[in-house]
Amino acid sequence: MGRKSRTGLVATAVAALAFLFIFIAFVSPYWLETDGKLKDPKFLNIGLWQVCFQGFVDPHHWYETEFYGCWWVFEEEYYIIHDILLPGFFVATQFFFTLCFTLLLIASFLVALYLCCSREHERFVLLLLVIGSDLTIAAVSGTIAVIIFGACGDGRDWMPNWEHNNISWSYGLAVFGVLFLYISGILYLVEGRVHHKKRQRAQETTHSAYHMEQRKAHTTI
């Protein structure tokens, strides 16, 4: 393992922080949460994969079933309220943030390779560029997710008592995680370009030295 530059180490640290924030946002159920000011809220909180109700009833009144507790959003019992629980914007948020998280998992493996890889390896520059591109694409995907949810998540046509529902801390972690992804991705791309330039200069120096030796050899002959 070769010694890494300061830029590379900072990019790795920021990527680790982004992974922590995005992982917590991905699994935690607090993207939207009631503000606690309502005496008997039917809705408590929701994340990408879990929702908590307290006596929620189908607003269409097609069924007289009440929902209590925290369950997976795809729970079989929720099929009667899927049109309410899983509107298009929320499914899109799930898709793009899952894509972001998946790309981040791939980047984590590549970052581990970067930490173990020597700077002299022939594919070191390629590895840096792939990591930077992967993180940047993940950031773009995450950006789409947080913009969609931020625009529609606390709307009046989704969860009950919309005026008492607020975007919560899981969403905040998602936003900061996406921001850190941009920073880390750009730093890796910059690092890859720097090493590419260094190798180009080294090759030019080697070629120049070789031609000089060839000229000296011809002159001697």
**Residue 183 near residue 14, CB atoms below 8 Å:** yes
Residue with tokens 């493996």: 109
Q: Which residues of 102-128 are buried (b: 16+ CB within 10 A; e: fewer)?
A: ebbeebbebbeebeebebeeeebbebb
pTM: 0.85
Tens-of-pLDDT digits for all 221 residues of the chain?
557 788 889 999 999 999 999 999 999 999 999 988 878 888 999 999 999 999 888 777 677 778 888 999 999 888 888 888 999 999 999 999 999 999 999 999 999 998 887 766 678 889 999 999 999 999 999 999 999 999 999 888 888 888 889 999 999 999 999 999 999 999 999 998 886 676 666 555 655 555 556 566 556 55
Question: For residues 220 and 47, what is the distance between their CA atoms, to the nearest angstrom?
Answer: 78
Domains by residue range for the chain, with CATH = 6-220 (1.20.140.150)
Instruction: List helix spans (H) across the chain.
Output: 6-27, 82-85, 88-116, 124-152, 169-220
For residue 78, the tally of other CB atoms under 10 A from its CB is 19
> Is the CB of residue 139 less than 8 Å from the CB of residue 181?
yes
Give the max Cα distance, the chain.
102
Which of 10, 27, 15, 20 lies closest to 134, judged by CA? 15
